C-alpha cells in the first residue's frame, strides 16, 4: 500500500510539473550575457530564437562558424542565435567569459549574443534548460555540446536538434524558415 501511494504521488508530481512547464514560455527565463548584463529572453518576443549550448574545445566547435552563418543569413528576418557556453561535457569549456568571447570572435567572427557559462544538465541546470527538459521530455535534454533548441515567435519550444546536426543543415534551416514565416504571418 505504501509503495502504491509513493508511486501515485510521483505520478501526480510529474504531471503537475509538466502542466506547469506547458504554461510557461521561453520568455519566462533570463540569462546573463557574456559581458555580465541581464539577458531576459523576453527581449526576443516575436522573434525566432536558436539556443545552443556551446564549448570551445569540442569536436563540434566548428559549428560556431555555422551558427554565425545562420545568424548572418536570417537575422534581418527575425532570427536570434544565442550561444550558451557550458563546461558540462568533457570539461570542454574551461575558460572565463572573457576568454570564451575572445576565442569566438578571433576564430569564428562570432557577433551573435552569448550568455555567461551555465550548467545545462542535471539538477543544477539553468532554469531554461530544466523547463526545456520538462516540456520536451528526456530525449531532448542535451547529451553533449552544441545541442540546439528552436523557440518560436510566441516563446514556445518548437523543436530540438542533437549535437551532430549542423546549424546549416536542411533540417535546422527549414525549421527556422518555418518559424520566421509564421512570425511574418505566412503559412
Q: H-helix or E-strand containing 137?
A: none
Contact present, 109 and 29 (Cβ < 8 Å) = no
Residue numbers of the domain that contains 60: 25-183
- Catalytic, 58? Answer yes
Residue 139 is classified by DSSP as G
Phi, psi of 161 (to 5 degrees): -140, 130
- What pLDDT shows up at residue 183? 85
Distance CA 6, CA 78 (A): 47
pLDDT in tens, the chain (187 residues): 555 454 444 444 444 344 445 589 999 999 999 999 999 999 999 999 999 999 999 999 999 999 999 999 999 999 999 999 999 999 999 999 999 999 999 999 999 999 999 999 999 999 999 999 999 999 999 999 999 999 999 999 999 999 999 999 999 999 999 999 998 886 5
70 domain-assigned? yes
120 domain-assigned? yes
Residue of 26, 34, 41, 58 with catalytic role: 58
73 domain-assigned? yes
105 domain-assigned? yes
19 domain-assigned? no
* Domain count within the chain: 1
84 domain-assigned? yes
131 domain-assigned? yes
Tell me, rounded to whole angstroms, the distance of Cα 121 from its chain centroid.
12
Which CATH number do you get for residue 137? 3.40.30.10
- What pLDDT shows up at residue 21? 52
3 domain-assigned? no
Residue the block writes with cell 576564430: 107
Contact present, 78 and 47 (Cβ < 8 Å) = yes
Amino acid at each position: 500500500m505504501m509503495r502504491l501511494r509513493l508511486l501515485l504521488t510521483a505520478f501526480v508530481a510529474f504531471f503537475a510539473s509538466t502542466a506547469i512547464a506547458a504554461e510557461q514560455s521561453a520568455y519566462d527565463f533570463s540569462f546573463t550575457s557574456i559581458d555580465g548584463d541581464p539577458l531576459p529572453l523576453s527581449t526576443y518576443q516575436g522573434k525566432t530564437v536558436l539556443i545552443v549550448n556551446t564549448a570551445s574545445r569540442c569536436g563540434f566547435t566548428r559549428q560556431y562558424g555555422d551558427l554565425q552563418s545562420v545568424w548572418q543569413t536570417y537575422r534581418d528576418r527575425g532570427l536570434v542565435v544565442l550561444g550558451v557556453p557550458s563546461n558540462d561535457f568533457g570539461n570542454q569549456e574551461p575558460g572565463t567569459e572573457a576568454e570564451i568571447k575572445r576565442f569566438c570572435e578571433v576564430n569564428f567572427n562570432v557577433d551573435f549574443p552569448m550568455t555567461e557559462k551555465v550548467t545545462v544538465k542535471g539538477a543544477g541546470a539553468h532554469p531554461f534548460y530544466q523547463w526545456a527538459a520538462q516540456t520536451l521530455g528526456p530525449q531532448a535534454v542535451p547529451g553533449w555540446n552544441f545541442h540546439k533548441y528552436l523557440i518560436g515567435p510566441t516563446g514556445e519550444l518548437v523543436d530540438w536538434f542533437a549535437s551532430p546536426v549542423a546549424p546549416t543543415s536542411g533540417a535546422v534551416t527549414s525549421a527556422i524558415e518555418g518559424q520566421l514565416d509564421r512570425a511574418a504571418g505566412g503559412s
